[in-house]
Amino acid sequence: MTGQFTQDAPETECLLDSMRQDVIGKPLVRIDALAKATGTATYAAEYPVKDCLEGVLVTAPFARGRITGIDIDTCLACDGVVAVIDNEKLIARCAQGTAGEAPVQEVRKVAYWGQPFALVVAETFEQARDASKHLKITIQDDDLSDIPCDPQAVEPENQQYSSQGDLPHAMTEAPHSVDAKFTTAGHASAAMEPHAAIAQWDGQTLTVHASLQMLNYNISELADAVGLEENQVRIVSRFVGGGFGSKLGISAETVAASLAAMQLKRPVRVAMSRQQVFQCVMRRSETSQRMRLAAGKDGTLQGFGHEALVSNLPDEQFAEPVLQSSEFLYAGDNRLLTLDLARVHRMTAGSVRAPGEAVGMPTLEVAMDMLAEACSIDPVELRLKNIPDRHPMKGTPFSSHKLAECLQQGAEAFGWDSGLRKPRQRREGEWWIGTGMASAARVHNIAKAKARVTLNPDGTALVESDMTDLGTGTYTILGQIAGEMLGLDPSNVLVDLGDTRLPRGPGSGGSWGAASIASAVYVACKAIREKLTKYANVTEGELNLKDGGVEGGASFAQLLGDKELREEGHYEPGDIEDDYVAAGFGAYFAEVRVNAFTGETRVNRMTGAFGFGRVLNERTARSQCQGGMVWSIGAALTEALHFDPRDGHLVNCDLAEYHVPVNRDVPELEVIMVEERDPAASPIQAKGIGELGMCGGAAAIANAIYNACGARVRDFPITPDRVVACMPD
Ligand code: MOS
């Protein structure tokens, strides 16, 4: 049986508000917490498989050209080597700009340094790794002295252009204006768990334990890459140690392990080294951006311009959507938004941790700080003044909007001083101290999702989907949704995820996971409740379920005898998507200290206030917000991919050289959740939350640095050398 729900209009009534179990929103501990903390959660590479061969990927040591010959003989003669797989299917692209498609690249054409082109398979990992060093290739280079890997040096293609009114005119007429250029560095999507897969082929079915985000798409991508039908492929990803976008599409190690297992008729494991993860998987594009803001005397925006240049490989479609929230965040009649794309030979640029806003919002929010100063207005006040009623270009209404509340509640909790702001007002020893703030915004995405729910007469339930949990808490919130809807303690709900044999979920990406899959579980539970009304002989409104049965009445065993109730919930976003602008909003406040001599910045404290619809679990939601704020600190101060201009290779390809914030860099992070109901966002009235926490936070830190020491740095990350260079004398 199936419950089907396509959302074409706002759902103002949500059953979750009238249920009796009272578990939704509660800060339940993750149901997989103990397994993870004790190391018993089995990740892809750890799956116990007998007689498993080990594969090591071999990657291109040059950034552009062709491999004209591979001499495998020396390699094959090495101890323990079973095979060298170098057929053309292996060169399926290893990164994934757009989920849902994985075209195979031309045979042995190399487009970036580190691109995998062969797999060495041996009895042990050490043998495979050693032999991989003996694989000899001959290369036909294009001119190596002229590798286009600098986005500034090539003619870009326009990807997006929208204009309204006359921005240049508004800029000349306005009493106050800001015209500033910014750059942001490329970011890595290397998550904690390196990419890995174990493939098994029994002659009929290919079973792969992999670390992937979107099994619903990955199954077709993998089937396509290895030449099988979807029903011959099974992918299992029960635990995923973070994705950050790098596991959205099918990946090189999964395809390589599968091809090898099918050819050799033995299980094959391929795990990327940390360096390979950095070199092969998606990067976030570096950007250069120009912000133009024009305002009246009182700070009301009259002109808004945001122009950006990003990069990607030749033929890749993805362009970092830098302007995504700039389209609707602030008012201003005269608008110009443009996005250009330069073709360069660096690894594929794709979706990485809040694609778009993660780098677009910080520049916008620094420009707003500059405008506040130009207008002599408090920066919070400037933002409050410029919140539009509707989408400034399309005229569509917002589904719900909590920016004002977030700004106000965040300011109050932080103790924001709204007096006139001047840099270099507070000094403690070597340190300048200052504060800064910024808005947060991130589009709300939602996706088609299916889930199966079974209510057993013994008062337990089973929730099933191929949905993944990247460590975000998906298992836990689905237990809470089913528990709430069916009157069960969540500990009596078994949640089974990450297996393509189960109904197709939405996958985890773009912050759509929780709202989408929870809506499917909600729809399935509604269908079960409908059946229960017949058993209990009451109407839906009278069906109060709690603790394994009708509240104060029959248990499920008494009601159902030995019959289980099973329903699939199909949720699909319908026409409503075009009727509203749906986004999460928020505000950040930061206090920093900047060393007057070295330019070193430390974050003293940080507050974030966020509005993203219904909170499904107070603890996991808070963790998502905190995680985003940690990334904001990295984007502000340390994170940057560095490419060698001579040969295009990534220089900092491990977590020692690619700097993310560690414990000592992160102060107490205060999170305020401004809860709301968003009836147009999803039937459970929840919005995406995973990425919101890093959409603008870097600007709060940049603005605090300026307030502290007077250095207005417009290049991210704001490293000590850049602070020193911009420090006033
Ligand atoms: Mo996300 S960057 O869509 O995994």
pLDDT class of 101 with cuts at 50, 70, 90: very low
pLDDT of residue 145: 57
For 559-572, how does the pLDDT look when each residue is reduced to its tens digit (9 = 90+)? 999 999 999 999 99
Catalytic residues: 691
**Structure token digits, residue 600:** 């070193």
CA distance 58 to 210: 19
Residues 6 or more apart whose CB falls under 8 angstroms from that of 371 comprise 176, 177, 178, 293, 295, 299, 382
Are 257 and 226 in contact by the 8 Å Cβ rule? The answer is no
CA distance 130 to 112: 23
> Ligand 1: distance of its center to the CA of 564 in Å?
37
Mean of the pLDDT values across residues 442-459?
97
> Ligand 1: distance of its center to the CA of 247 in Å?
8
Mean pLDDT of the chain: 94
Are 365 and 439 in contact by the 8 Å Cβ rule? The answer is yes
DSSP E strands in 574-723: the ranges are: 583-595, 601-611, 669-673, 715-716
**Structure token digits, residue 209:** 């334990």
Substitution candidate for ligand 1 out of 192, 193, 248 with most atoms within 8 A of CB:
248
- From 118, 8, 4, select the one nearest 680 (Cα to Cα): 8
Find the range with the poorest average confidence among 91-95, 445-449, 468-472, 670-674. Answer: 91-95
pLDDT above 90 as % of the chain = 90
- CA angle, corner 721, sides to 719 and 725, nearest 5? 120
Strand (E) or helix (H) holding 335: strand 334-343
- From 150, 101, 182, select the one nearest 370 (Cα to Cα): 182
Mean of the pLDDT values across residues 199-212?
98
The answer to whether residue 92 scores a pLDDT higher than 90 is no
For residue 69, give the 3-state DSSP assignment. Answer: strand
> Ligand 1: distance of its center to the CA of 123 in Å?
35
* DSSP state, residue 706: H
Looking at the CA of residue 508, tell me the nearest atom of ligand 1.
4
User: Does the structural domain 283-444+582-726 have CATH classification 3.30.365.10?
Assistant: yes
* DSSP state, residue 490: G
Substitution candidate for ligand 1 out of 195, 351, 443 with most atoms within 8 A of CB:
351
For residue 382, give the 3-state DSSP assignment. Answer: helix
> Ligand 1: distance of its center to the CA of 354 in Å?
6
Nearest CA to ligand 1 atom 4: 245
Looking at the CA of residue 350, tell me the nearest atom of ligand 1.
2
Report residues whose beta carbon is within 6 angstroms of any ligand 1 atom.
213, 243-245, 248, 351-353, 355, 509-510
For 571-609, how does the pLDDT look when each residue is reduced to its tens digit (9 = 90+)? 999 989 889 999 999 999 999 999 999 999 999 999 999
The answer to whether residue 536 scores a pLDDT higher than 60 is yes
- From 352, 61, 313, 94, select the one nearest 225 (Cα to Cα): 94
For 135-155, how does the pLDDT look when each residue is reduced to its tens digit (9 = 90+)? 999 888 765 556 667 788 889
Substitution candidate for ligand 1 out of 240, 247, 251, 353 with most atoms within 8 A of CB:
353
pLDDT of residue 582: 97
Mean of the pLDDT values across residues 9-18?
95
Mean of the pLDDT values across residues 499-510?
98
CA dihedral 310, 315, 317, 318 (to 10 degrees): -40
The answer to whether residue 108 scores a pLDDT higher than 90 is no
Segments of the chain assigned to CATH 3.30.365.10: 2-30+447-578, 44-61+64-145+190-280, 283-444+582-726
User: Does the structural domain 2-30+447-578 have CATH classification 3.30.365.10?
Assistant: yes
The answer to whether residue 508 scores a pLDDT higher than 50 is yes
Right CATH for 44-61+64-145+190-280 from 2.60.40.10, 3.30.365.10, 3.40.605.10, 3.40.1440.10: 3.30.365.10
Number of residues in the chain = 729
The answer to whether residue 94 scores a pLDDT higher than 60 is no
pLDDT of residue 103: 36
